[in-house]
Amino acid sequence: MNPHLSEFELNASLWEEPSGSVAGHLTSCADCRRERDLIAAPLAAFRDDSQQLAARDEFFWSAQRARIESQIAARSSQGIPGLAWSMVVGLIVLGVFLLKPAKPPAVPAPTYSQSIRSQDQDFALLVEVEHTVNSQVPDALAPATLLAYEMNRTALTKSK
Ligand SMILES: [Zn+2]
């Protein structure tokens, strides 16, 4: 068993009043006292430095405040130019590019012979339909032809 103080006990003795046994060992053991002082001395120096920094006079802090305020003012007066303007210009250019109507795909105009051929095909189809309509219909559809005949006749007499 280690008779000296543990690292935890040494650290604890730095920020709180050591308990009776720890305090007693520290007073009697030079090794543990030296160990504790090795940690305590730099900590105390650090504490003193930060307290000195924090305890600067009002003149230092008002000068610091004025310097920060002047830098903020300088930045906000620069503000928009530079990057922001170049971004705005970039967005406008992009918008114009996107809004430009796309060229419609060129559809070749039908040549004269093609249009004649398509008219011929239409006429041929019309003739075929007429043939089908006028051809003999099955007996089952005979009433329908009668109906169609009557409808045609009615339409003809009305148009006269
Ligand atoms: Zn000891």
pLDDT tens digits for 77-113?
765 667 778 888 889 888 888 887 777 777 777 777 7
Distances from the Cα of 34 to the Cα of 4, 7, 9, 20, 25, angstroms: 12, 13, 14, 19, 12
**Ligand 1 centroid vs 26 CA: distance in angstroms?**
7
Q: Are 20 and 13 in contact (CB under 8 A)?
A: no
Ligand 1 center to residue 34 CA distance, Å? 9
Which residue in the block uniquely carries the two structure tokens 């928009």?
80
- Alpha carbon of 46 to ligand 1 centroid (Å): 26
Say how many Å lie between the CA of residue 38 and the centre of ligand 1.
Answer: 14
Give the contacts of 118 (CB within 8 A, at least 6 positions apart): 110
Q: How many CB atoms lie within 10 A of CB 11?
A: 13
> Do 26 and 9 form a contact (C-beta atoms < 8 A)?
no
pLDDT at 18: 86
Least confident of 2-16, 43-57, 137-151: 137-151
Q: How confident is the model at residue 27 (pLDDT cuts 50, 70, 90)?
A: very high
Query: How many Å lie between the centroid of ligand 1 and the Cα of residue 3?
Result: 6
Query: Is the pTM value of this prediction over 0.75?
Result: no
Ligand 1: centre distance to CA 93 (Å): 78
User: Is the pLDDT reported for residue 9 higher than 80?
Assistant: yes
